[in-house]
């Protein structure tokens, strides 16, 4: 499963990229608004931090296909070819995804709440589809179950499209989808940190350090070898 940072906070991105095996950064207009910075400068800085090899997801703003296509071209021109344009999975969005596919611009069908929305985005030619796990849970449905259904649809129809599961509020939601083998998940910094946030892990590593110190008075193998 690919793992993305669903955040535009520069310090968080630098820290997570340094520590974890991260495949890129996903943004949306609300995430950009939260950062309260010029979007062009902010996205350029994120691109500098993550390098050209990692993927950056940037969302097109217009709600009509023509506008989405114009935004998509400008986004890829501005932030490089390893940028995927998020397009809302609405009727005009499917039209834009079809056209962008023909022009070789990769897209992610976003704002996915239902399996058939994902089906249409994948069939239109999206490289990723982004179902919103926690928002679906909050509507009284089972977000993880919806994503599993989408995974079955993609696999059983042979679509060349991955799931970018999004809108997580806890690591258990991510765990279930990782076990199921979905293509990608995008999580906020605190959810990624929670993968290893565990007192038993902290105690185990502390005990190793203390036991070795008792034996040798040292804190590394290089001091005793």
Buried b (16+ CB within 10 A) or exposed e, 17-49: beeeebbbbbbbeebbeebeeeeeebbebbbee
- Choosing from 79, 119, 128, 132, the residue that interacts with ligand E4P (CB under 6 A) is 132
Residue 217 DSSP code: S
Binders of ligand E4P in range 150-179 (CB under 6 A): 166-167
Q: Among positive and negative, which fits the CA dihedral 101, 107, 108, 111?
A: negative
Count CA within 13 A, CB hemisphere, residue 80. 15
CB of 206 to ligand E4P, least distance (A): 34
24-26 and 2-5 strand pairing: parallel
| Shortest spacing between CB 7 and ligand E4P, in angstroms | 9
φ and ψ of 108, to 5 deg: -125, 120
Catalytic one of 86, 98, 101, 102: 86
**Interface stretch with ligand E4P, choices 11-19, 62-70, 126-134, 171-179 (CB under 6 A):** 126-134
Mask for 24-63, x = binds ligand E4P (CB under 6 A): --x-x-----------------------------------
**Binding region for ligand E4P (CB under 6 A) out of 33-41, 116-124, 131-139, 192-200:** 131-139
10-29 footprint of ligand E4P as x/- string (CB under 6 A): ----------------x-x-
Token look-up 């010029």 returns 38
Active site residue 101: no
Contact region with ligand E4P (CB under 6 A), list: 119-127, 128-136, 151-159, 194-202 = 128-136
Q: State the Cα–Cα distance between residues 28 and 190, nearest whole angstrom.
A: 18
For residues 183-222, which are near ligand E4P according to CB under 6 A? 186
């Amino acid at each position: 499963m690919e793992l993305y940072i669903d955040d535009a906070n520069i310090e968080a991105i630098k820290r997570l990229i340094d520590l974890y095996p991260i495949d890129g950064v996903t943004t949306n207009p609300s995430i950009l608004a939260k950062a309260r910075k010029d979007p062009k400068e902010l996205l350029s800085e994120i691109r500098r931090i993550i390098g050209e090899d990692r993927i950056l997801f940037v969302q097109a703003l217009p709600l009509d296909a023509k506008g989405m296509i114009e935004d998509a071209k400008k986004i890829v021109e501005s932030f490089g070819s390893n940028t995927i344009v998020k397009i809302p999975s609405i009727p005009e969005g499917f039209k834009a995804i079809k056209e962008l596919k023909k022009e070789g611009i990769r897209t992610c069908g976003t704002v996915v709440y239902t399996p058939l929305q994902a089906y249409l985005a994948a069939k239109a030619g999206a490289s990723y589809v982004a179902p919103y796990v926690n928002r679906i849970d909050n509507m009284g449905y089972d977000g993880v179950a919806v994503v599993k259904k989408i995974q079955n649809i993609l696999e059983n129809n042979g679509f060349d499209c991955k799931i970018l599961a999004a809108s997580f509020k806890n690591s258990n939601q991510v765990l279930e989808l990782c076990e199921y083998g979905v293509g990608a998940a995008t999580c906020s910094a605190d959810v990624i940190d929670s993968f290893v946030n565990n007192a038993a892990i902290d105690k185990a590593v502390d005990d190793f350090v203390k036991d070795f110190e008792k034996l040798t008075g040292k804190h590394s193998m290089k001091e005793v070898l």
